[in-house]
Structure 1
Amino acid sequence: MTVSMRIGTRKSTMALAQTEEIARRLLVVAPELDVEIVKFDPVGDRDQTSNLLRHGGKGGAFVGEIRAAVRAGTLQAAMHSLKDMPGNEDTPGLVIGAALVRDPPTDALVLRDGVTLEDLRRARGEGFKIGTNAVRRAAYARRLFPAIEVIHFRGAADTRVRKLDGCEMQRLPGGGEVGPADALIMARSGLERVGLAHRIAHDFSIEEMLPAAGQGIVAVECAASDWATRRYLSLIDDPAARLCCDAEREVLWVLNGHCNSPIAAYSIISGHDMSMTASVLDEAGGHFIEVTRSGPADRPRELGRAVGLDLLHKGAGEIIERSRPEP
């Protein structure tokens, strides 16, 4: 008997590639499924000029409309990049049904033609512009290249590289333009998904630039009460990715961070143990707090909670509050 499953996703090249991977995995373990991919054009993709805060952060900009369709029952599941899912708020009625095997979690540097890595390293980046919309990447970039100018740069992964190569100016949220960029900081996994890994000029190590919580993990969300869908999704759930997902999102929950908070968290599993490093930075990259802890791998939330509380004890709450937008 054929069973239908409609999965919602953003229509960007990367999001579609991620969702097609979900469909492939499902059909391997459940050939009776008829998987339909439903494309969305959320407000965060339609408006590539405004600051994401205008649309309620990443959750409102990229996740909200697809989640609403799952709650309404018009979709059985939704694909999200885990790092785009708010970790500091409840999602009543929804659960993460599957976390796929983690892709490379690191960030990478993409350079415009004629610019070299040595150019950026010389004089710590003086005179160069690096484009990103992620406050975490911006904060780390300012620590690594104190003399650079970080500029607002949004768009799908392949679109951003095209704009970089075309030396396009970027419209600012409040009006005016900035640019062109000399380099971009992007997720390695995203570049791989859209076939642009060959453009990577430098892979930032975990020590240089700690990833965002959940970076590299594709999450599939569904209704908590939809047990049939949850059963199918459990067949493609990766245990290691799930444990890392739970640990890193617990840090976000404890810190009550928002999309303007430069927060990073990354965990790794070795045997029965899990270690996690998390950090909080101010947007200028000058004030930096980092914590590393280890614990049993089968108790990820406890480890994430302990790391989050350590960060708060060291003053992370004050940094986060200073970065919180005024109501």
Structure 2
Amino acid sequence: MVAVSMRIGTRKSTMALAQTEEIARRLRAAALELEVEIVKFETVGDTDQTSKLLKHGGKGGAFVAEIRAAVRSGALHAAMHSLKDMPGNEDTPGLVIGATLARDTPTDALVLRTGVSIEDIRRSRGKGFKVGTNAVRRAAYARRLFPEIEVIHFRGAADTRVRKLDNREMQRLPGGGEVGPADALIMARSGLERVGLANRIAYDFSPREMLPAVGQGIVAVECAAGDWQTRRYLSLIDDPMAHLGCDAEREVLWVLNGHCNSPIAGYSTIDGGQMTLTASVLDEAGGQVIEASRSGPADRPRELGRAVGLELLAKGAAEIIARTRPEP
């Protein structure tokens, strides 16, 4: 048996490494001749944990661009990304998503510091409480659910954020100064599960309360479009259901031409041969929300995503997105 090597790039965070190790395990099990090497990257989003991601071009610039460049140059065969971190409003010439793993729980969760309960926050409508998040979508939904809550800028790897919450640490602000400490965090349930902190979840938000981000809970493996050997190996671990959801939800982003500061959400489910896709666009304050939901054949995900995106535009989504677009 002739050994075949595959180099997969990933971020250094605990969660990213756990996701990439799972990919490597599946690849080795599917193809015994495959030797998988994990190459760790410290992206600009990892080294700069103070600035807002907008400074680095959003999550794509902060967490994806450097690893993508290594794939394009041939230094890597593939790259692992959390699908929700991959920009969907721009073309990625020369790259394709070769595999998606089965979707983890896609919803968001609330993590509380000791002495705080969800009932306390609900009763007060959030008044007097600080909730930490870096996601504009989560911030907008939090303001809808708890109108008087104070949302504070809060960044870091999943385990780091929980540690800062427990230690009541202040969070440095991009322009200087500090904010905090946080009373609660809103985070992806799947991320907390990946780093062994699911026991810290005090409340799970339903998709009705807080629609997930496009691709949330899906691990994607990207490779060069013309690297057919790598694409063949990745196809062995691809989950077809997750890939259909990936295509539908990302089509919404493409149609909306959103940006990293746009509170856009999208989530699809499949029942038999039918897919249902719901997507929304919110203003940053959470005061205005536009939503669209449609069902269609699961094997035509991009058509469904396009229809939902166009419905959102017809309802005025472009105006909301324009208001949140950073000034040049």
Residues 1-327 of structure 1 aligned to structure 2 (within 5 Å): 1-327=2-328
**Which one-letter code corresponds to 2:16 in the other structure?**
A
Cα shift at 1:24: 0.8
- Distance (whole Å) between structure 2 residues aligned to residue 246 and residue 231 of structure 1: 19
Matched residue SS, 2:124: helix
Q: Secondary structure at the match of 1:124?
A: coil
Give SS of 1:202's match. strand
Measured against aligned partners, the alpha-carbon deviations of 1:131-160 in whole angstroms (never above 9, x if no partner) come to 000000000000000010000000000000
TM-score of the aligned structures, taking structure 2 as reference length: 0.99
Cα deviation, residue 165, structure 1: 0.4
Instruction: Return the offset for 1:245.
Output: 0.1
Q: Secondary structure at the match of 2:125?
A: helix
Report Cα offsets for 1:279-312 as digits up to 9, x if no partner: 0000000011111100000100000000000000
Give distance in 2, aligned partners of 1:322 and 1:176. Answer: 27
Question: Partner letter of residue 143 of structure 1?
Answer: R
Structure 1 residue 125: deviation in Å? 1.1
SS in 2 for 1:137: helix
Distance between the aligned counterparts of 1:24 and 1:73, measured in 2? 23
Task: Give RMSD over aligned pairs.
Answer: 0.5
Q: Give ranges in structure 1 of 5+ residues lacking alignment.
A: none
Structure 2 runs not aligned, ≥5 long: none
Aligned residue identity for 2:216: Q
Normalized against structure 1, the TM-score is what? 1.00
For residues 31 and 258 of structure 1, the distance between their equivalents in structure 2, rounded to whole angstroms, comes to: 41
Q: Structure 1 segments of 4 or more deviating over 6 A? A: none
Displacement of 1:233 in angstroms is 0.1
| Letter aligned with residue 43 of structure 1 | V
The one-letter code matched in structure 2 to 1:180 is P
User: What's the CA shift string for 1:227-279, capped at 9, x where partnerless?
Assistant: 00000000000000000000000000000000100000000001110001100
